[in-house]
């Protein structure tokens, strides 16, 4: 007990700030661009990711903090930092990040690209013939679509569209210098490519390519738009705006229409960041800030081309395989590789797929075959994000055209994919698909598919449950896991989940599935607490969790308590992590690592050792964040087959062995490489790729043997022809797949 009159001092439990943790993640993305071990064009792509990530961060997270400071409604995070202090730290860290990003571009990538015959040139660097080509390109392709906007008492400052490229022009009359000054804006239409390849007629080799940024071209010839005036300055600028949608679903009758209206309004929402290239006179900058209602601390001066996201397009414009990652061809389990009846194979056994090392094609085949199969009566599907030419969407439309009952849960509030999802929702509705938008106030984020099929024994259901989106393109770029199953214990609850989403269910009961917001959070807390109980009793106790983010305070606090009880905890958290590891007496038994590599780690896996009993292993769609636990429909499910349990356990151990793509989170918030050992550097992703290549090679070898045997049968002499009906031809090699 404390002495009388003395206040008891309670040591504050430490947490990392969510926003600063995210910036630390984006710093690790930048490190991929700086990594000399990666192919040059892949490093350029990682540099584009840094910009794309920052755009979203400012549009959503920084915008929210600015709203708090302006409204006076303060919502502190688990670390206790208020919005003003967070903004101060964010701007300091983000400025350093942007400075280092452009240093990487200008001092590392541009010179190395030049050595490979890939040039990014300014006006001063263009040859005479290249300059002539650029001038013609401006006259023919750019000048006709530009519209200069004067800024004066009769022409108010124009509304600058979110993230659009604009050229801020400062002019004067050369005959009356200093007396007649004007400001103008040149909006650059989005339809114009932001990076232009200079197609010099003298170029003879694919190993010599010249590029110039569109902003540089417009700056070069801005005077053409203002005849009689002198250009004193022409600065590319870019304004980021608050893009978070606020929709009260209970007051909205037509959700699609309301979201379209909100998206249109988002183009004009409050400015949160100004990026500006090169030095701008203080008086002109102040006038600009007043026009867009932004404070000076939200200005990011850029020494280089604005919006490096545009480098993504350059990646596809350069046909240099030696400067990119070597192509990787995924493995597909032989039983479901080009099979004409995938249902027959899934009925025999479950299939666990680990993408992109295992192909996503079986998932596409499941839906494509379901669309054509006359025995299939109904298909139910969730769609959160999907590709522009999605075979999944096409299969659902085909199924509806073939008379099947098709229901699609389309999440039209998937951030930054709202317009895409609205487009697909309308196309699906026109094709006769029942499109629904889930439960009021909750995003549908679970990854589920259900097919109902008539078989001789009666109706049978087939399901796919996964950790990633139904997007064949990102399935080649993200690591995810999925389960194909016909087990009734799974499919019955998947059917109940869809009924919950499409109908009414106040308190649905799930025994096998862990579904947010109903039972996922409470079950995860009980599993963590159970490991602590095992540890205190001297039984084996271990937790391994792999997910994108960990910021839920209750989960972190229970992990702290489990660590104090002696549970060994390994967390593989790619992005945001609010837990502070390695603090004596609090989290000394917790280790946190982040893995960034060729593929984006996206799978969510949870392992609880469970004493001397069988371990509990789950995979699913949810991260350990409040939004996933309480504001989304998520589905996490157990892995029960022994071989699949072993596969996932081994995968987790392989991730924990990674020394080349891993960074270890320290108690001070820094991420450092794992301690060096005498062992060879080890990459988990490269290991999975190598294993997949082996399996694919084995399958192809077995297929070739089968084809050879078939050919031998066809060409064998009469006395060794196989017994049977002589009118039946042997299986053709092309059919043996």
Give the residue numbers marked as catalytic.
445
Nearest of 576, 572, 513 to residue 543 by alpha carbon: 572
Taking the CA atoms of 266, 268, 274 and 279 in sequence, report the sign of the dihedral they define. Answer: positive
For 537, the 3-state DSSP assignment is coil
d(CA 558, CA 91): 33
Do 220 and 226 touch, CB atoms closer than 8 A?
A: no
d(CA 201, CA 410): 49
Cβ contacts of residue 285 below 8 Å, gap of 6+? 276, 296, 299
Taking the CA atoms of 86, 88, 94 and 100 in sequence, report the sign of the dihedral they define. Answer: negative
Termini Cα distance of the chain: 76
d(CA 726, CA 723): 8
Which residue matches tokens 């001038």? 135
Give pairs for 711-714: CB < 8 Å, separation 24+.
none
For 294-404, list the strands marked E by DSSP.
299-302, 351-355, 376-383
d(CA 367, CA 406): 11
d(CA 521, CA 728): 60
Q: What is the number of alpha carbons within 13 Å of residue 17 lying toward its C-beta?
A: 16
d(CA 291, CA 286): 9
């Amino acid at each position: 007990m404390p002495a009388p009159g003395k206040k008891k001092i309670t040591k504050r439990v430490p947490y990392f700030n969510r926003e600063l943790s995210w910036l630390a993640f984006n710093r690790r993305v930048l490190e991929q661009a700086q990594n000399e071990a990666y192919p040059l064009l892949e490093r350029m792509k990682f540099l584009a990711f840094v910009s794309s990530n920052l755009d979203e961060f400012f549009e959503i997270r920084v915008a929210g903090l600015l709203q708090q400071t302006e409204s006076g409604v303060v919502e502190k995070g688990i670390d206790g930092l208020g919005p003003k202090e967070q903004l101060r730290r964010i701007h300091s860290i983000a400025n350093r990040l942007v400075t280092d990003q452009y240093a990487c571009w200008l001092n590392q990538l541009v010179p190395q690209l030049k050595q490979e015959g890939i040039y990014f040139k300014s006006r001063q660097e263009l040859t005479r013939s290249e300059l002539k080509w650029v001038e013609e390109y401006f006259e023919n392709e750019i000048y006709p679509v530009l519209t200069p906007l004067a800024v004066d008492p009769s022409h108010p400052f124009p509304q600058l569209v979110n993230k659009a490229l604009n050229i801020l022009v400062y002019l004067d009359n050369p005959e009356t210098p200093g007396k007649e000054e004007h400001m103008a804006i040149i909006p650059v239409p989005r339809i114009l490519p932001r990076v232009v390849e200079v197609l010099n007629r003298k170029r003879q080799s694919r190993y010599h390519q010249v590029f110039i940024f569109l902003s540089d071209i417009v700056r070069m010839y801005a005077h053409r738009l203002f005849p009689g005036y002198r250009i004193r300055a022409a600065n590319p600028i870019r304004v980021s705006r608050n893009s978070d949608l606020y929709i009260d679903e209970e007051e909205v009758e037509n959700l699609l229409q309301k979201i379209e209206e909100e998206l249109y309004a988002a183009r004009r929402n409050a400015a949160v960041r100004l990026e500006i290239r090169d030095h701008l006179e203080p008086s002109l900058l102040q006038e600009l800030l007043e026009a867009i209602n932004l404070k000076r601390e939200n200005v990011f001066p850029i020494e280089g081309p604005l919006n490096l996201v545009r480098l993504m397009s350059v990646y596809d414009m350069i046909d240099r395989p030696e400067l990119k990652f070597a192509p990787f061809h995924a493995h597909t389990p032989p039983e479901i590789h080009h099979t004409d009846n995938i249902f027959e194979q899934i009925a025999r056994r479950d299939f666990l797929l680990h993408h992109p090392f295992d192909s996503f094609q079986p998932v596409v085949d499941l839906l494509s075959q379901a669309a054509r199969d006359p025995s299939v009566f109904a298909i139910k599907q969730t769609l959160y994000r999907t590709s522009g030419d999605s075979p999944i969407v096409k299969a659902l439309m085909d199924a509806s055209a073939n008379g099947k009952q098709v229901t699609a849960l389309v999440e039209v509030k998937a951030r930054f994919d709202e317009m895409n999802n609205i487009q697909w929702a309308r196309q699906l509705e026109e094709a006769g698909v029942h499109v629904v938008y889930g439960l009021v106030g909750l995003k549908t984020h679970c990854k589920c598919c259900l097919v109902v099929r008539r078989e001789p024994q009666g109706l049978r259901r087939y399901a796919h449950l996964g950790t990633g989106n139904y997007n064949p393109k990102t399935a080649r770029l993200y690591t995810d896991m999925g389960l194909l199953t016909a087990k009734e214990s799974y499919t019955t609850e998947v059917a109940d989940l869809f009924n919950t989403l499409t109908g009414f269910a106040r308190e649905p009961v799930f025994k096998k599935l862990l579904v947010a917001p109903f039972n996922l959070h409470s079950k995860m807390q009980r599993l963590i607490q159970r490991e602590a109980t095992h540890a205190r009793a001297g039984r084996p106790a271990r937790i391994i969790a792999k997910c994108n983010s960990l910021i839920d305070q209750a989960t972190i606090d229970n992990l702290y308590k489990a660590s104090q009880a002696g549970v060994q905890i390994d967390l593989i958290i790619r992005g945001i992590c609010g837990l502070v590891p390695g603090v004596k007496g609090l989290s000394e038994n917790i280790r946190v690592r982040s893995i960034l590599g060729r593929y984006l780690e996206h799978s969510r896996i949870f392992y609880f050792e469970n004493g001397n009993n069988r371990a509990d292993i789950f995979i699913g769609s949810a991260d350990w964040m409040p939004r996933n636990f309480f504001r989304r429909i998520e589905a996490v499910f157990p892995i029960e087959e022994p071989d699949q349990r072993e596969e996932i356990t081994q995968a987790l151990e392989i991730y924990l062995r990674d020394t080349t793509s891993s960074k270890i989170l320290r108690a001070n918030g820094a991420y450092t490489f794992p301690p060096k050992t005498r062992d060879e550097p080890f990459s988990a992703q490269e290991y999975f790729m190598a294993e997949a290549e082996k399996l694919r090679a084995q399958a192809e070898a077995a297929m070739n043997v089968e084809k050879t045997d078939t050919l031998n049968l066809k060409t064998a002499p009469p006395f060794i022809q196989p017994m049977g009906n002589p009118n039946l031809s042997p299986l053709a090699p092309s059919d043996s797949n």
